[in-house]
Homo-oligomer: A and B are copies of this chain.
């Protein structure tokens, strides 16, 4: 690593975070589970595959249009399990709370965790609470880890994409990032955009009912669609070709990105998934997705190509092609 200190961009979901993972974490923790680089590990016990994942949520502000840190913490971990093809079942919750935090706000957060857990049909089974002195943490951080079970015959990984496969997105991109950003101190602006934060496990179950030929699933959170596609291209050592005009983006998100100088492909989502599926089942899976409330605007946005390996190309409406890179610096710290 060139840097000797942790930078905000090391938490961005983009290039510097991948550097940190590769050059520091994987060096220390090297093992076959971690090395898959998927959002959840698949471990085996007595022939049963168990998915296991963790995420800490440090979003700021805590409450935003469409959700709050509690809903985010449940949905994020549920989604990481679902992206491994697992049925999410059990969630652990661990809080770091700053001294002086209002108990009424804590209760509000717990309520929305319970609501999200009910919708996702997961149980919160174990927990921990740490309190740090005023100034030792910013309000509240929530870690959720999750356990789920992977049904037989399901095998998804970012490393499984094959040439000719289709790439599907479940809906419009950038909603979460723009919704959170619009409520930040100092940069607040008017928007009707709500965070898309939602549990996607039922949508995924329905997709698998339609076909088991889903090769890769990932939710484009930090680092946005661009990081997710680059990860899949890298893990599978394939190219990905995306048609820009097929990617759903709400007008308001588009304008906000123009105003702020963001590429919507880099902006975080919390209720969207990317699926890489075998070409001949793509339209069947798309139909099923459109019937689910979280997949209404699903669209086939591109396909897996042989070259350029590890790269994502975007065809613009003007007939030109650009390379879609991972985010390099940090665009939106503490977006999740």
Closest partner residue, chain B, to A146 (CB atom): B145
A295 touches B (CB below 8 Å) = no
Establish whether residues B124 and A34, one from each chain, have CB atoms under 8 Å apart when the complex forms.
Answer: yes
Establish whether residues B138 and A56, one from each chain, have CB atoms under 8 Å apart when the complex forms.
Answer: no
List of B residues within 8 angstroms of A46 by Cβ? 46, 48
List of B residues within 8 angstroms of A163 by Cβ? none
The range of chain A's interface size is 35 or more
Establish whether residues B97 and A10, one from each chain, have CB atoms under 8 Å apart when the complex forms.
Answer: yes
Establish whether residues A1 and B123, one from each chain, have CB atoms under 8 Å apart when the complex forms.
Answer: no
The B-contacting residues of A in range 1-32, CB under 8 angstroms, are 1, 3-12, 17, 20-21, 24-25, 28-29, 31
A128 touches B (CB below 8 Å) = yes
Cα–Cα, bound, A103→B16 (Å): 13
Establish whether residues B5 and A101, one from each chain, have CB atoms under 8 Å apart when the complex forms.
Answer: yes
Closest partner residue, chain B, to A39 (CB atom): B126
Cα–Cα, bound, A93→B24 (Å): 14
Given A43-B125, A136-B138 in contact, is the A131-B6 Cβ separation under 8 Å?
yes
- Which among A105-113, A168-176, A208-216, A245-253 touches the partner chain? A105-113
What 0/1 pattern do residues 120 to 155 of A give for CB contact below 8 A with B? Answer: 000111111111110111100101010101000000
A281 touches B (CB below 8 Å) = no
Establish whether residues A98 and B128, one from each chain, have CB atoms under 8 Å apart when the complex forms.
Answer: no
Number of copies: 2
Establish whether residues B106 and A145, one from each chain, have CB atoms under 8 Å apart when the complex forms.
Answer: no
A157 touches B (CB below 8 Å) = no
List of B residues within 8 angstroms of A92 by Cβ? 41, 52-54, 145
Establish whether residues A54 and B143, one from each chain, have CB atoms under 8 Å apart when the complex forms.
Answer: yes
* Cβ-defined partner of A137 (8 Å) among B3, B25, B137: B137
Closest partner residue, chain B, to A336 (CB atom): B130
Closest partner residue, chain B, to A98 (CB atom): B6
* Residue among A113, A130, A136, A141 with max Cβ neighbours from chain B (10 Å): A130
Cα–Cα, bound, A240→B110 (Å): 35
Q: How far is the CB of A133 from chain B (nearest CB, A)?
A: 6
In order of increasing CB-CB distance, the 3 nearest A-B pairs are A11-B131, A145-B145, A54-B92
